[in-house]
Amino acid sequence: MKKQITTKQAYEALQLCEKRGIKAGAFFIIGYPGENGKTILDTVRFASSLPLDYLSFTLPYPIPGTSLFERLSSRLVSEEWNEPKSLQLVKHKLLFNSQITEIKLKFAIVKGMIQFYIRKYAGKQGYRIIGSPFEKMTDVAYELTH
């Protein structure tokens, strides 16, 4: 995505925010073209480990006129995102044919949010007791999801 920032730089910036009492949030895109199962789990693990006040994940959204739209133009299944009417945990829709299924991407999003909230509200000891086993079990479940 050409962000030109390392995960180390992002983490250090968030540590400074935390140290100075500045609230911080982050927004991650899961399933960007070129990602694979490993890079998605790496992103989820990194994002959910950050000292954030707010965290959000979404699927890539190719907006007409953007380089992502141009890159995916031959793989688009829909050019318009409509919010699902049914009750869903993740109200995002994958608008292009991807090597990774929408279900698998949504699983990664829910997994990341749960890990984040366990770490945020249970603390280090709570994460060791609850979060770490959850992360390991859902890593396996993610690999088995199609």
Residue 22 lies in a domain: yes
Mind listing the pLDDT tens digit for each residue in 79-136?
565 555 555 556 677 888 898 999 999 999 999 999 999 999 999 999 999 999 999 9
Q: How far apart are CA 13 and CA 52, in angstroms?
A: 11
Q: Which domain holds residue 38?
A: 7-74+83-144
Residues 6 or more apart whose CB falls under 8 angstroms from that of 80 comprise: none
- CATH number for position 138: 3.30.750
pTM of the model: 0.86
